[in-house]
């Protein structure tokens, strides 16, 4: 039984196709369903469309054809302010953290509220008190102490920056979090800590996370579901335990990497 038949999916991707250059699809007819719980890891070699896939979900990339049904709306067809309002419901964590370097940590976290607060409030740095209280709580929750709040983002280490990136995504109170290679710029130990944090937040806050990752071990350790992609198509979709060596051969090609 596929997840679509359970009827409980938060996000349904239907026949998604993306061509950056006509006739050269990066994604070929991808259909996937995501329930509103759990960590899903998308694994696969570089250039296989993992990043394009999750960027289509919040429309940082516009798909060529197909549907992306999220909370009753087809994200693929939205534009303008409707798209902007839907984007608030989806948090995103980036490989290069994408913090605003010259702003303080707490202001970066508060940037997660920019879709909600009135522009003059953000302009005057008069965020609502409840947002500020939540920002402090989140800075604690991602493992940074209060003293970090007023520090400039560019004064932080990679792992600390990624924690701020996660806090910013959660600050949106999202229904879904997308993480695009969140550990690829980090050392192995920090990578594990960040994946632990993402898994813990997914459970404790009840928010599903879709994470692109090329480290198979990390994916198997922290994900509840693994999607293997190669050449723009899904070739494995199931629990981590079901991922066999044969699957990895198919996903990555050859066996030299094992």
Partner 1 sequence: MSVPRVWQRFTLAERIARAILYVCVVIAVVWSIRTIEVIPEFLYDAPEQTADLFSRMWPFDWAFYPKAIHAALIETFHIATLGTLIAIVLALPLSFLAARNFVSNPLLNFVAQFIFVASRSVNSLIWALLFVAIFGPGALSGVLSIAFRSIGFVGKLFGEALEEAQVGPIEALTAAGAPRSMLLVKGYWPQVEPAFWSIALLRWDINIRESAVLGLVGAGGIGVALDAAMNNLYWDQVGLILAVIFAVVIVTEIVTSSIRSRIL
Question: Of 90 and 234, which CB lies nearer to partner 1 in the complex structure?
Answer: 90
Least separation in angstroms between residue 9's CB and partner 1 is 21
Residue 42 parent element (H or E): strand 39-43
Question: Of 55 and 236, which CB lies nearer to partner 1 in the complex structure?
Answer: 55
121 burial (CB, 10 Å; 0-12 / 13-18 / 19+) is middle
Least separation in angstroms between residue 219's CB and partner 1 is 23
Question: Of 96 and 187, which CB lies nearer to partner 1 in the complex structure?
Answer: 96
Binding site for partner 1 (CB under 8 A): 58, 60, 84-92, 94, 96-103, 107, 111-112, 114-116, 119, 122-123, 165, 168-169, 172
Rg (CA), the chain: 18
Least separation in angstroms between residue 100's CB and partner 1 is 5
Tokens of 196: 């632990």
Question: Of 179 and 234, which CB lies nearer to partner 1 in the complex structure?
Answer: 179
Question: Of 60 and 233, which CB lies nearer to partner 1 in the complex structure?
Answer: 60
Least separation in angstroms between residue 73's CB and partner 1 is 13
The residue written with tokens 């909600």 in the block is: 116
Tokens of 216: 């198979």
CB 190 within 8 A of CB 159: yes
Least separation in angstroms between residue 244's CB and partner 1 is 35
Q: Which residues pair with 43 in a beta bridge?
A: 228
Question: Of 122 and 248, which CB lies nearer to partner 1 in the complex structure?
Answer: 122
* Dist CA 60 CA 247 (whole Å): 30
Least separation in angstroms between residue 115's CB and partner 1 is 3
CA 245 to chain centre: 26
Pick the closest to residue 224 from 90, 36, 49 (CA basis): 36
Least separation in angstroms between residue 148's CB and partner 1 is 18
19: left (phi over 0), alpha (psi -120 to 50) or beta: beta
Question: Of 34 and 127, which CB lies nearer to partner 1 in the complex structure?
Answer: 127
**CB under 8 Å to 26, separation ≥6 — which residues?**
18, 19, 20, 49, 52, 232
Instruction: Looking at 32-157, list the stretches that DSSP marks H as alpha helix, in order from N- to C-terminal side.
Output: 50-57, 80-87, 105-110, 119-123, 129-141
């Amino acid at each position: 039984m596929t997840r679509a038949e359970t009827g409980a999916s938060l996000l349904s991707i239907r026949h998604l196709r993306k061509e950056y250059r006509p006739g050269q699809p990066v994604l070929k007819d991808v259909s996937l369903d995501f329930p509103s719980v759990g960590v899903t890891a998308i694994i696969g070699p570089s250039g296989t469309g993992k990043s394009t896939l999750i960027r289509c979900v919040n429309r940082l990339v516009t798909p060529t054809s197909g549907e992306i049904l999220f909370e009753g709306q087809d994200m693929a067809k939205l534009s303008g302010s409707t798209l902007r309002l839907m984007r608030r419901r989806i948090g995103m964590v980036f490989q290069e953290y994408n913090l605003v370097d010259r702003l303080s940590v707490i202001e970066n976290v508060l940037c997660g509220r920019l879709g909600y607060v009135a522009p003059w409030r953000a302009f005057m740095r008069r965020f609502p008190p409840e947002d500020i209280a939540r920002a402090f709580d989140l800075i604690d929750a991602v493992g940074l102490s209060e003293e970090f709040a007023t520090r400039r983002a560019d004064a932080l280490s990679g792992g600390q920056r990624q924690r701020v990136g996660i806090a910013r995504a959660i600050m949106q109170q999202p229904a879904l979090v997308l993480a695009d290679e969140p550990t690829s710029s980090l050392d192995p130990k920090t990578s594990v800590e960040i994946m632990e944090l993402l898994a813990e937040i997914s459970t404790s806050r009840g928010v599903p996370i879709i994470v692109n990752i090329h480290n198979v071990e990390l994916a198997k350790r922290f994900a509840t579901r693994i999607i293997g992609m190669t050449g723009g198509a899904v070739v494995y979709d199931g629990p981590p335990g079901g991922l066999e060596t044969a699957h990895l051969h198919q996903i990555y090609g050859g066996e030299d990497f094992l």
